[in-house]
Structure 1
């Protein structure tokens, strides 16, 4: 399925990219980690949906997501 000539998989990649970029505009580190975690989760879905599967995208963003979750719940 496509929208404006762009596949659904690419839209998820663009959404992930935008979310991660927006996360760096946050002044609060906790807000940054929350928004960045959502972006990382989108990137994991994006990596899974790519054919063939993109292990580097999945591994990197899963690791970043785990680090964010660790520091969010550490307190």
Structure 2
């Protein structure tokens, strides 16, 4: 991936994470945070396999998916 595009993916990831702290609805927080985590995973992969970025954000993404599915069942 182009270095410039990778940089924009990283900035958008940061933007989504910050936006998730502004929201009040828990479901929206989880969705926006998950989008940010996915962007960070993409950023980590295309920026040279940055495992300290990929692993925690991948785990957080799965946690958000788990709670979104759990919330939908209830």
Does TM, normalized by the shorter one, top 0.5?
yes
Q: 2:22 aligns with which of 21, 25, 28?
A: 25
TM-score, normalised to structure 1's length?
0.87
TM-score, normalised to structure 2's length?
0.88
Runs of 4+ in 1 over 4 A off after TM superposition: none
d(CA) in 2 for partners of 1:34 and 1:13?
A: 17
d(CA) in 1 for partners of 2:9 and 2:62?
A: 20
Residue-pair matches, total: 70
Q: Please identify which structure carries the higher helix content.
A: 2
Q: Which runs of 5+ in 1 are unaligned?
A: none
3-state SS of 1:24 partner:
helix
Deviations 1:16-35 (A, max 9, x none): 00011001111011100000
Q: Which runs of 5+ in 2 are unaligned?
A: none
